[in-house]
Amino acid sequence: MTDERTDGGATVARGGMPFGLPTWVGAVAPLVLLAVVVAGFVFLNPFAGLVTGGALPDVTVTHASLPNDETVVLHVTNNGPDPVTISQVLVNDAYWDFTLYAGGEATNTLAPMESGRVVVPYHWTPGWDLHTGLVLSDGTTFTHTIPAPQVSPGLTGELLGLLAVVGLFVGVIPVALGMLWYPVMQGMSDRSLHAILLFAVGVLAFLAFDAGFEAFELAAEVPGAFEGNLLVVLGILGALLLVQAVSAWNASGDVNPLGIAYLVALSIGLHNLAEGLAIGSSVALGRVSLGAFLVVGFMIHNVTEGPAVVAPVADGERPALWHFVALGAIAGAPVILGGWIGSIAFSPTLGALFLAIGVGAILQVNWEIGTMVRRRGSLGTPTNVLAFLVGLAVMYATDLLVAL
């Protein structure tokens, strides 16, 4: 089967599939041949004759949970290409009985890329660090320290309700309070509104830097098989492109202020999801006092996010009330969801991914805000630059409250 196309006035034949085969056969054939080549390479194994020492075992303790003061649970992952057998478990330099649960059953062996739970019957003292070690069958030892352990409260309806209330105070209420500046912002001049928008960009930029640094720190705790750093990069780029795709739905090409407000709320919400994960995990791991400090710090920290949400719609007709409710919910409510996820089981992999997604969304939203200001006037005025720096400084000052 052939068809024709015109090229510079000349008619050129364009061939179809040989032997009259369907087009889908041509699309699938290279993949099938690739599978055959790979299978042949694996079967022949040309490296079999080389003498090597084999791959070194690699086991990661992602985190620990403490259901009571008589039990220590280590959550482990085998990152290596070969199965590993855990022969002994050390707790504070002494050997203790243990049970490894993987794949829904008790075993001593973890397959490649498999995760499991090492349950150790050990009476520990709250507040005293626990030093643990996993000794493999070849003698390799992997250590993990549990600082100032406390009993994990466990997943209960009461805990979920408590985290929901905490999420309201950490995310929804502070953002709503910050949005109350909207009437004041409506009475400002264009120059002042542009400065407010750049202040919002500074706030978001700080969140992006803060979340990015934390994401790469968590990536160091991600099991090696999951490539933590690459996961962070994937999350950042994926979120950036996804938000760009959402913003591109506006076919006119004009920047829609209300649409940008929703994108700002979404990016802040993704960041607050990671904040909720930190609070929920601190409570789930028994660090209730740390959770309390995080709550107070995040409350003050998140008030500054409210103006950033409503700044894009301050110049023009006021949106309907339900838009403000939706914006506040999108920006603040994810703290509740993050708290619930963190309370079930904290995962460095999940935490790094959430933070990375927030960074990607923020970067794209800042680009949209900058585009809107540039279309309305000048972006790099001294006032706008100063407002951007003030946004960074204010977020840095409030972030110190979280660090204390």
Using pLDDT thresholds of 50, 70 and 90, give the confidence band for residue 1.
Answer: very low
pLDDT tens profile 94-151: 999 999 998 888 988 998 888 899 999 999 888 788 899 999 988 899 999 888 777 7
Arithmetic mean of pLDDT, 63-74: 86
pLDDT tens profile 200-232: 888 888 888 888 888 898 888 777 777 888 989
Six token digits for residue 160: 């979920």
pLDDT above 90 for 87: yes
Average of per-residue pLDDT values in the chain: 80
pLDDT above 90 for 152: no
What's CA 363's distance to the chain center, in Å?
14
Six token digits for residue 402: 């979280």
pLDDT tens profile 337-383: 888 887 775 677 777 888 888 788 788 878 878 887 887 778 888 98
The 10 Å CB-count burial string (b at 16+, else e) for 304-335 is: bbbbbbbbbbbbeeebeeebbeebbbbbbbbb
Cα–Cα distance for residue pair 129/146, rounded to 1 Å: 6
pLDDT above 70 for 54: no
Instruction: Kindly compute the dihedral angle of the four CA atoms of residues 161, 163, 165, 170, in this order, to the nearest 10 degrees.
Output: -170
Arithmetic mean of pLDDT, 317-343: 88
Highest mean pLDDT among 11-20, 125-134, 394-403: 125-134
Using pLDDT thresholds of 50, 70 and 90, give the confidence band for residue 295.
Answer: low
Q: What integer pLDDT is reported at residue 287 of this predicted model?
A: 57
- ∠ CA 279-281-284, rounded to 5°: 110
Q: Which residues contact 255 (CB under 8 A, 6 or more apart)?
A: 368, 371, 372, 375
Six token digits for residue 363: 């970067």
Q: Where is pLDDT greater, at 179 or 22?
A: 179
- Alpha carbon of 316 to those of 179, 211, 255: distances in Å? 16, 32, 13
Question: 201 - beta bridge partners?
Answer: none
- Alpha carbon of 15 to those of 2, 18, 373: distances in Å? 5, 8, 52
Arithmetic mean of pLDDT, 253-259: 71
SS3 content of the chain, % helix, strand, coil (to 5): 60, 15, 25
Q: What integer pLDDT is reported at residue 304 of this predicted model?
A: 76
Cα–Cα distance for residue pair 243/358, rounded to 1 Å: 11
Q: Where is pLDDT greater, at 113 or 279?
A: 113
pTM tops 0.75, yes or no: no
